[in-house]
C-alpha cells in the first residue's frame, strides 16, 4: 500500500505536467489572430502608459525600432496576481472573499517551493536538524496554519457569495461549487494534519525527500496522507477546470490584453485573415457603431464610427 501511495504521487506529478501542457497547447492552437483592438494603457509602453499612449501614435512608427519595457509588464502582472487589483477596483465585495482564498493558495504553493529547496539542501549534505532547516521548518508550519485557515475561510465565503449574489448566481455552475468545496476540504485536511503531528514541515520534507530518493517509507499521519491524496487529485484536475487560469495568467494578460505587436503578413496570416473577418461581435459600444446586433469584424473594421449617421 505504501508503494502504491508513492506511485500515485509520481502519477499526479506527471498528470499535472501533461494536463498543463495540453491546456496551453489547446489555447495556442485554437486562439485566433489578435484583432489589434488594443486596450490601453499597455504597461510595456513605458512613459506612454501613463496617459494610455502607444508607439503607433508616432509618425512613421513602422520604420522605427520598437522599445518594449518588459519590466512594466512584469510589475503589472505581479501586482494583479498578488493583490487582485482588478477585482478590488471593480468588485470589492467579491475581493474580500476571494483574496483570502488566493492568499492561502499562494502560501501553500510558496511553502511547497521552500520545502523543495530544503530537500535539495539536505540532499547536498545539510543536516536535517541544522539551524537553517529548523528556522525554515518554523516558517513553513506557520505558513501552513495561516494558509489553511485562509483557504477554508475564503472558500466557504466564496461558496456563500455565489449562492446569495444575484449577479454571480447567473454564471455559477455545479463545477464552481465542487471546485471550491474540494479546496475547502483540502484546507481542512491540512489543518488537521498540522494539529495532529509535531511538525507539518518535517512530514512534508521527509515525504518529498523520499519521493526523490525512491525510498518508500510509510507516512506518519493519516490526515497528512489524506491531505496528499486530495492534493494528487487537484494536481491533475485543476488544469482542466476554469481554475486553470492559474496556468493561463501569462497568456490572458500578455498575449491577449497587452499584445500589440503588429501582425506579420505572411502566407499563413493571409490564409487565416478571411476566416477571422467572418467572426461576429454583438457589442453595443459607440466607438464601433455597435447597436447590439451581430456584425462581422469585416463590417466593424470598414465602418467609420466618427462619420455622420447617414454616411456610416
When divided into structural domains, the chain yields a total of 2
Note the pLDDT tens digit of each residue in 64-80.
888 888 888 888 888 88
Determine the pLDDT at residue 39. 66
Same domain assignment for residues 124 and 168: yes
Same domain assignment for residues 242 and 306: no
Note the pLDDT tens digit of each residue in 180-207.
999 999 999 999 999 998 899 999 999 9
Domain range spanning residue 286? 277-311
Give the residue carrying C-alpha cell 513553513: 140
Rg (CA), the chain: 25
The chain-wide mean pLDDT, for the chain, equals: 87
Q: Is the pLDDT of residue 44 over 90?
A: no
Q: Tell me what the mean pLDDT of segment 5-17 comes to.
A: 93
Burial of 257 (0-12, 13-18, 19+ CB in 10 A): middle
Q: Is the pLDDT of residue 49 over 60?
A: yes
Backbone angles phi, psi at 283, to 5 degrees: -70, 155
Same domain assignment for residues 184 and 288: no
Same domain assignment for residues 241 and 289: no
Judge whether 38 lies within some domain.
no
Q: Rounded to an integer, what distance in angstroms lies between the CA atom of residue 147 and that of residue 111?
A: 9
* Of 184, 113, 194, the residue nearest 150 (C-alpha): 184
User: What pairing do the DSSP bridges indicate for beta strands 280-281 and 295-296?
Assistant: antiparallel
Same domain assignment for residues 179 and 129: yes
Q: Is the pLDDT of residue 288 over 80?
A: no
Percent composition of the chain: helix, strand, coil (DSSP 3-state, to 5)? 70, 0, 25
Judge whether 208 lies within some domain.
yes
pLDDT band at 260 (very low <50, low <70, confident <90, very high): confident
DSSP track, 52-113: T--GGGSTTGGGS-----HHHHHHHHHHHHHH-HHHHHH-HHHHHHHHHHHHHHHHHHHHHH
Same domain assignment for residues 152 and 293: no
pLDDT band at 303 (very low <50, low <70, confident <90, very high): confident
Q: Is the pLDDT of residue 312 over 50?
A: no
Q: What is the CATH number of the domain that holds 20?
A: 1.20.950.20
Q: Which is higher by pLDDT, 143 or 40?
A: 143
pLDDT band at 143 (very low <50, low <70, confident <90, very high): very high
Same domain assignment for residues 294 and 203: no
Q: Tell me what the mean pLDDT of segment 291-309 comes to.
A: 79
Judge whether 112 lies within some domain.
yes
**Candidate ranges 34-48, 57-71, 124-138; pick with highest mean pLDDT:** 124-138
Judge whether 36 lies within some domain.
no
- Cβ atoms of 62 and 119 within 8 Å: the answer is no
Residue 302 φ/ψ region, left for φ over 0, alpha for ψ in the -120 to 50 degree band, beta for the rest = alpha
Same domain assignment for residues 105 and 214: yes
Same domain assignment for residues 285 and 197: no
* Of 33, 105, 37, 49, the residue nearest 269 (C-alpha): 33
Handedness of CA 86, 90, 94, 99 (dihedral sign): positive
Q: Is the pLDDT of residue 212 over 80?
A: yes
Same domain assignment for residues 198 and 305: no
Judge whether 285 lies within some domain.
yes
| Helix (H/G/I), strand (E/B), else coil: 296 | strand
Q: Is the pLDDT of residue 179 over 50?
A: yes
Same domain assignment for residues 187 and 293: no
Q: Which is higher by pLDDT, 281 or 153?
A: 153
pLDDT band at 57 (very low <50, low <70, confident <90, very high): confident
Give the residue carrying C-alpha cell 487560469: 245
Determine the pLDDT at residue 188. 97
Give percent of the chain above pLDDT 90: 43
Judge whether 54 lies within some domain.
no
Beta carbons within 8 Å of 38's beta carbon, 6+ residues apart:
54, 260
Judge whether 82 lies within some domain.
no
**Among the listed ranges 57-71, 156-170, 257-271, which one has the minimum average pLDDT value?**
257-271
Same domain assignment for residues 220 and 305: no
Amino acid at each position: 500500500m505504501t508503494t502504491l501511495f508513492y506511485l500515485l504521487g509520481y502519477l499526479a506529478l506527471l498528470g499535472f505536467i501533461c494536463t498543463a501542457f495540453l491546456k496551453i497547447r489547446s489555447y495556442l492552437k485554437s486562439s485566433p489572430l489578435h484583432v489589434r483592438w488594443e486596450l490601453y494603457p499597455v504597461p510595456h509602453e513605458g512613459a506612454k502608459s501613463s496617459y494610455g499612449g502607444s508607439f503607433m501614435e508616432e509618425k512613421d512608427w513602422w520604420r522605427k525600432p520598437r522599445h518594449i519595457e518588459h519590466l512594466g509588464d512584469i510589475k503589472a502582472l505581479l501586482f494583479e496576481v498578488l493583490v487582485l487589483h482588478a477585482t478590488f477596483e471593480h468588485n470589492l465585495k467579491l475581493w474580500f472573499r476571494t483574496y483570502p482564498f488566493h492568499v492561502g493558495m499562494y502560501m501553500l504553493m510558496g511553502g511547497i517551493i521552500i520545502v523543495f529547496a530544503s530537500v535539495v539542501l539536505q540532499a547536498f549534505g545539510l543536516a536535517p536538524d541544522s539551524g537553517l532547516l529548523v528556522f525554515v521548518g518554523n516558517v513553513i508550519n506557520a505558513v501552513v496554519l495561516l494558509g489553511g485557515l485562509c483557504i477554508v475561510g475564503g472558500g466557504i465565503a466564496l461558496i456563500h457569495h455565489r449562492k446569495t449574489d444575484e449577479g454571480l448566481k447567473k454564471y455559477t455552475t455545479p463545477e464552481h461549487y465542487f471546485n471550491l468545496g474540494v479546496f475547502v476540504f483540502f484546507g481542512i485536511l491540512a489543518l488537521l494534519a498540522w494539529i495532529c503531528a509535531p511538525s507539518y514541515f518535517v512530514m512534508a520534507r521527509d515525504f518529498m525527500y523520499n519521493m526523490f530518493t525512491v525510498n518508500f517509507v510509510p507516512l506518519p499521519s493519516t490526515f497528512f496522507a489524506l491531505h496528499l491524496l486530495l492534493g494528487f487529485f487537484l494536481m491533475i484536475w485543476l488544469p482542466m477546470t476554469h481554475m486553470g487560469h492559474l496556468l493561463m495568467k501569462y497568456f490572458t494578460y500578455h498575449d491577449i490584453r497587452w499584445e500589440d505587436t503588429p501582425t506579420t503578413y505572411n502566407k499563413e496570416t493571409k490564409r487565416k485573415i478571411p476566416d477571422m473577418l467572418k467572426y461576429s461581435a454583438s457589442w453595443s459600444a459607440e466607438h464601433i457603431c455597435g447597436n447590439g446586433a451581430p456584425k462581422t469584424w469585416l463590417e466593424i473594421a470598414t465602418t467609420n464610427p466618427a462619420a455622420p449617421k447617414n454616411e456610416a
